A and B are shown apart, each in its own frame.
Chain A
């Protein structure tokens, strides 16, 4: 056992690289299948699921072959989302009287129910509550999990509508596909099979999946919470020795073991870029993410479908290099972000190192800032997950985000502010990325004085307007929300720290909801009527404004005829284009938020070091 001192850092980073490689490989393998499924072609598991698919179309009374105009497609998306919002709101408001509630948890307040329903329908999964304390099994496993599966399906549907708009030639009606067929296929053939596999892997690692009531296990050292004996162990032993009859009355002997259908909710939470945990601690919770292996599967799950969609895009438009360029840009942004965060977290902070009194090196332990991080994951895997979850719109966490260094928070905020194009939320992220690509060809077109083209289609004023709107929705919503929260004098009382670090928590809430991310810094108490209502609207706007713009864009592209490529056409499958795209993303996405970021995490980091 007393082997040589072992440095853990290199191994930990190598492990992260393997997870990324694994996700890329799985994404690549999945991409061809995705295209076949979304085209309605036969697949291996089709034999089992095709009858189900046909029944669904019959009940809906829709012909899956009949393609819809972008307007009708949008109407379907909106109608389904409104119905989902009302349905989920009703479940949460009636939780107290509905079955599936062994803990007898009461119904939610109207503002928390509204916030939660909006949050899950918008695929943000912002949580103003702690799951194990607030929600019944029915609310979690049926109410929320249904949205966790259907919202990424809507994302996949919409991105395929955009693909079709790019490929369709000269269609007068601007038809982009059948929404009901797209959503049904994404759920049946993509999301549910993957969810089932991930669920079972997680259960094998120890994630509970049961309808039984919360359990409790024995505490080796019973605790009485009234007298503050937790820190000073001498007092605890003294009390133990002297009076065992009086103190035993209010001693707690049991440790809570909350159970429930956890695994079946964690799988779609990760795969569908939802991020809303069953437990308040999210992926840091031992019951959601018990081992390094479950952590590998859950980390890779965050990005596997977003990566598959990028490969699928290249295949769909008949030029795989188009996909590779976009993926390359994502990888550059991701690795850069991870490098900054890795260095910052490994350096820890003066408050933690205490002038050398605390060992934060990498010998026989994980190197760096372990506050808020789990021993089984360590600093590096936690930094890796955080970048995956804020680069996409996932927003889950396997560590406490508030306990990250201010620089890490800054990088997370920039990734979210850019519209989550680094691998992206399922569907929505690639839509934003393609809008950035359109913006890039426009800017490049201005420089050389030619009409911009993308995928062989002329980019006109209406396409430009939509692409620009998509890319600035997040920054605008975030700044407005942050300003409104900062104006409310109540906000300062909901924070556990003042100054730049406090403003960082407010800004984080604004950007996270405006990017439909949903991650949060836990020092900010957000379950108030004002914040619940405000952030509900921010999340709905952040989901549905870009979504409407993308469908309009898809429709107007479908109406355009392809133009022949000439010597003056800018190639969009080149490294040069990738570099330009990178620049545009940084300028538009990151700089829009810079003044606010300077007041928050930038000031926080400088204050800490100065």
Chain B
């Protein structure tokens, strides 16, 4: 009887040993081999994308058209509203880049669209947009200009939202409406295969072109 118990206990102990071994093996296979192969192929075959798709402007500075920036200058096209902030880690230290620069981050609104707070946030945004676009009077404002995205960093707006700003940009930049239209057309993306995604305009790219940072 006692011997049976010992056998059962040792079989159970074996299970725990195997569990530890399996955890270690999986950590090596997934956290080592899979991670290593993924990174290696990505870095060799797709180095630009794998490192954040950063582009260099004609002024020698680094830019990204992937992530959105807050724009409020009337000479720039405006994008989705953002909530700029500085992030800190759990110790209260600001998170900096490789050179130790303080960086700007952004967050979504995190408001319920049924709430009164949200209604007043949108009302204020509508007022600000309309004040800068007297050409449009009381026309409805395209929704992208008064709603924050889910990431907080949306670099794009709809065609409707881009076209809404063309007269204002022509007025403030001194370029003709045709020139602005051409820039917007260059920065417009159509749905992939005509199926996936909304037709949209990259606001950061438009402004880089307006400022002559990229051609």
Residue of A with least CB distance to B36:
A264
Instruction: Decide if A80 touches B150 in the complex (CB within 8 Å).
Output: no
Q: Interface readout for A190-204 with B: 1 if CB under 8 Å, 0 if not?
A: 001001100110011
Whether the pair A354, B123 counts as a contact (CB closer than 8 A) is yes
* Interchain CB contact under 8 A, B119 and A376: no
Minimum CB distance partner of A264 in chain B: B38
CB distance from B75 to the nearest CB of A (A): 9
- Within the complex, what minimum Cβ distance (angstroms) separates A178 from chain B? 11
CA gap between A256 and B98 in the complex, in Å = 11
A526 at the interface (CB under 8 A from B): no
Give the interface SS of chain B, mostly helix, strand, loop or mixed: mixed
Tell me if B90 and A109 are in contact (CB < 8 A): yes
**Contact across chains for A364 and B199 when beta carbons are under 8 A apart:** yes
Q: Answer whether residue A149 sits at the interface, using C-beta atoms and an 8 A cutoff.
A: yes
A108-B161 Cα distance, complex, nearest whole Å: 42
B143-175: which residues lie under 8 A (CB-CB) from chain A? 143-144, 146-161, 163
Beyond A403-B111, A604-B114, is A378–B197 a contact (Cβ under 8 Å)?
yes
Interface flags, A323-365, vs B, CB<8A=1, else 0: 0000000000000000000000000111110101111100111
A212 within 8 A of B: yes
Q: Which residues of B contact A217 (CB under 8 A)?
A: 54, 62-64, 67
Is residue A462 contacting chain B, with contact meaning CB distance below 8 A?
A: no
Contacting pair A356 B140 (CB below 8 A): yes
Contact A180 B18 (CB under 8 A): yes
A369 sits at the interface (CB 8 A): yes
Interface residues on B, range: 35 or more
Given A287-B67, A295-B196, the answer on whether A210 and B39 have CB atoms closer than 8 Å is yes
Known A400-B108, A522-B108: A376·B156 in contact at CB below 8 Å: yes
Q: Which residues of B contact A133 (CB under 8 A)?
A: 87-89, 95
Q: How many residues of A contact B (CB 8 A)?
A: 147
Q: B116's closest neighbor in chain A, by CB?
A: A351
Contact B114 A291 (CB under 8 A): no
Residues of A within 8 Å of B149, CB to CB, are 284, 372-375, 400
Q: Which residues of B contact A188 (CB under 8 A)?
A: 29
Q: How far is the CA of A405 from the CA of B112 in the complex (A)?
A: 8
Q: Measured between alpha carbons, how far is A391 from B208 in the docked complex, in Å?
A: 42
Measured CA separation A231–B189 after assembly (Å): 28
Specify which chain B residues have a CB less than 8 angstroms from the CB of A204 in the assembled complex. 46, 49
Q: Give chain A nearest CB distance to B67 CB in angstroms.
A: 5
| Residues on A with beta carbons closer than 8 Å to the beta carbon of B51 | 208, 210, 212, 215, 259
A interface residues, Cβ below 8 angstroms from B = 1-2, 6, 8, 11-12, 14-15, 18-19, 52, 56, 59-62, 72, 75-76, 79-80, 82-84, 87, 103-106, 108-109, 132-134, 141-143, 145-146, 149-150, 180, 183, 187-188, 192, 195-196, 199-200, 203-221, 223, 225, 229-233, 236-237, 252-257, 259, 261, 263-264, 279, 281, 284-287, 290-293, 295-296, 348-352, 354, 356-360, 363-366, 369-378, 381-382, 397-400, 402-406, 496-497, 501, 504, 521-523, 604-605, 607-608
7 A-B residue pairs with Cβ-Cβ distance under 8 Å, sorted by A, are: A87-B27, A214-B96, A220-B208, A292-B197, A364-B163, A400-B109, A403-B150
